[in-house]
Amino acid sequence: MAQETSSSLLKLYMILGKRLALLLIFIICANVIGYALYLQLVINLLPCPLCIAQRIAYWLIGLTALFYFIHYPQNLCQKIYSIFMVIFSLLGLLLALHHSWLIAYSENFECGISAEEEFINNILIAKWWPIMFEANGDCADIEWEFIFLTIPNWSAIFFLVFSIFSVYILFANNN
């Protein structure tokens, strides 16, 4: 009887731990997107194409986590949600690291309208919601820092944390 109770409590802890991680990921993504909009609309920092691509990654991670939290399926669907979260987190991490590299080596970067900016600004979502998804900034500009880290550096940290949480959720016990 005591072993059944402890086993049931462990299962409850695993479920609550995973669900809490999903909710936390969604809340962090929503706050990061909100802060990006604050920087854009209040502080007047124009987002570059890589910033917009990272916003899209935050949206994909956050919405996947929210749908997973609400739906909370069993077995195969759990793995599918988790795999999508891992993929979106790693893609966001790669974008943020590339953006950080461009800032660090900006002398190798050409100014002007890039193919990435044209692509981002011509996708349907940028036309539908331009305040959120239209790119007008320069990827190599450093207009904001906090504790010696730029926006892409902070994004890389967030995406790394999301990747770790997503892998934890993927491999956590499903029983």
Domain ranges of the chain: 2-171
Question: Hey, which residues does 150 pair with through a beta bridge?
Answer: 145
| Spatial distance between the Cα atoms of 24 and 144, rounded to a whole number of angstroms | 25
**pLDDT tens column, 57-91:** 998 999 998 988 888 777 788 888 889 999 999 99
pLDDT at 175: 44
Residue 30 in tokens: 């929503």
Determine contact, residues 100/149, Cβ cutoff 8 Å: no
Q: What are phi and psi of 146, to 5 degrees?
A: -140, 125
pLDDT at 57: 92
- CATH class, range 2-171: mainly alpha
Q: For tokens 């993929």, name the residue.
A: 87
The candidate with the shortest Cα–Cα distance to 56, out of 146, 157, 124, 148, is 124
Q: What are phi and psi of 66, to 5 degrees?
A: -65, -45
Residue 115 in tokens: 């193919």
pLDDT mean for each 10 residues of the chain (175 residues) = 49 65 89 88 81 88 89 81 91 89 71 59 59 61 73 88 85 62
| Spatial distance between the Cα atoms of 51 and 141, rounded to a whole number of angstroms | 12
DSSP 146: E
Q: For tokens 């759990």, name the residue.
A: 78
Determine contact, residues 39/144, Cβ cutoff 8 Å: yes
pTM above 0.85, yes or no: no
pLDDT at 173: 58
Helix axes 151-171, 49-71, angle to 10 degrees: 30
Q: Which helix (H) or strand (E) holds 79?
A: helix 76-104
pLDDT at 44: 80
